[in-house]
Amino acid sequence: MSHNSFGKNFTVTSFGESHGENIGVIIDGCPSNVFIDREGIQFELNRRKPGQSKITTSRKETDEFQITSGIFNGKTTGAPICIVIPNQNANSKDYDHLSEVYRPSHADFTYEKKYGNRDFKGGGRSSARVTAGWVAAGAIAKQLLKSLCEIEIVGYVSQIYTVECNKSPDYSIDNIESSMVRCPAPKESQLMIEAIIKAKKEGDSLGGIVSTIIRNCPVGVGDPVFHKLNAQLAHAMFSINAVKGFQIGSGFDSIIKKGSELNDEWVSTANGPQTKTNNSGGIQGGISNGMPILFDVAFKPTATISKKQHTIDKSNNAIELEAYGRHDPCVVPRAVPIVEAMTALVLVDNLLP
């Protein structure tokens, strides 16, 4: 099993560690003769990068990328595209005292037991830093989807801690990006920011929900049975660090409705058959039905906090853990471009011939 690759037609292979020389991806299967918009890639990386605002981690990375293969005279050649992003602001010394500690709700214990070793510097391979490569690959996927059929993928923060905004399939990326927390509802955006700042002051962390809208997905995307489009999306989302839940359309709330209330009746429209409601979230029998695809991804609060915690080390010593490394008080705003990138990778993998 190829552990670090995603996708069968547009295959992204991820490599690199948080405090290594660089992190990156190889994209195999990108069509040839496609002009790659480098600014589009940098735009997405900037949305993900640390230090972008007062509510994110203070680690500073410019996240400037290099493409070292697969491009000739500005266009893709059909050969593998290698993208690398140097690691610049790694403070490895911050982690030396953690080399034998099992941090609560981190991957320290499981990595050590699985591999018999641990790259403890910045979390090594288990760090969300590696998702920068996915975002770069996803940016290329987005460009392909745009040109293939005007597909638009829009993620936004619909909940932080106890602050929820209304969900809607109509939010625009401008609304979303104008909010530091990537919540398109101004009032809730403000409350979310305040909640995050408060948590940061307390040395604590918060979780939340990224809701996603896929617009213009053609009918017929996805496989029946084992590789339903929703199954592929769920798989992709759970690949992201800190994800605890995924739901499509009416999701968990489907349970408290009866079939007669939940079923999406078909109606004839000028644009062809559409469903009156969209509890299906745009997917029926695992296949897109032409309606907007809607899903939610739940992120837990960042495991790294400054508050004192109790845990043990590999010699079973009790440890008091306090204020280590740099971290986000809430990863959810920075998770938006990662969710979008993984969504784009799923779609392009299904839509490329």
Q: Distance from CA of residue 304 to its chain's centroid?
A: 18
Residues 60-99 that bind a copy of itself (CB under 8 A): 68-70, 72-73, 75, 77-82
Q: What secondary structure letter does DSSP report for 247?
A: E
C-alpha distances (whole Å) from 143 to each of 18, 31, 105, 159, 179 are: 27, 12, 36, 28, 24
Binding status of residue 298 toward a copy of itself by CB under 8 A: yes
**Region of 36-44, 118-126, 145-153, 333-341 interacting with a copy of itself (CB under 8 A):** 118-126
Closest distance of CB 140 from a copy of itself, Å: 15
Residues 140-159 that bind a copy of itself (CB under 8 A): 159
Binding status of residue 325 toward a copy of itself by CB under 8 A: no
Closest distance of CB 293 from a copy of itself, Å: 12
Nearer to a copy of itself, 9 or 42 (CB): 9
Closest distance of CB 49 from a copy of itself, Å: 20
Binding status of residue 286 toward a copy of itself by CB under 8 A: yes
Binding status of residue 2 toward a copy of itself by CB under 8 A: yes
Closest distance of CB 336 from a copy of itself, Å: 15
| Contact assessment for residue 100 and residue 315, using Cβ atoms and an 8 Å cutoff | yes
Q: How far apart are CA 314 and CA 145, in angstroms?
A: 47
**Region of 35-43, 47-55, 178-186, 301-309 interacting with a copy of itself (CB under 8 A):** 301-309
Residues 198-257 that bind a copy of itself (CB under 8 A): 199, 202-209, 219-220, 222-228, 230-239, 241, 243-252, 254-257
Edge-to-edge order in the sheet of strand 5-6? 5-6, 11-16, 22-28, 81-86, 66-69
Phi then psi for residue 339, to 5 deg, are -60, -45
Interface with a copy of itself (CB under 8 A), residue from 135, 181, 294, 305: 305
What would the two tokens of residue 262 be? 């939940």
**Region of 2-10, 45-53, 54-62, 174-182 interacting with a copy of itself (CB under 8 A):** 2-10
Closest distance of CB 174 from a copy of itself, Å: 26
C-alpha distances (whole Å) from 145 to each of 87, 207, 218, 329, 332 are: 29, 30, 11, 33, 25
| Contact assessment for residue 74 and residue 289, using Cβ atoms and an 8 Å cutoff | no
Beta-bridged to residue 310, according to DSSP, are 320
* C-alpha R_g of the chain: 21
Q: Collect all residues with Cβ–Cβ distance below 8 Å to 353 and sequence separation of at least 6.
A: none
Size of the site for a copy of itself (CB under 8 A): 139
Binding status of residue 4 toward a copy of itself by CB under 8 A: yes
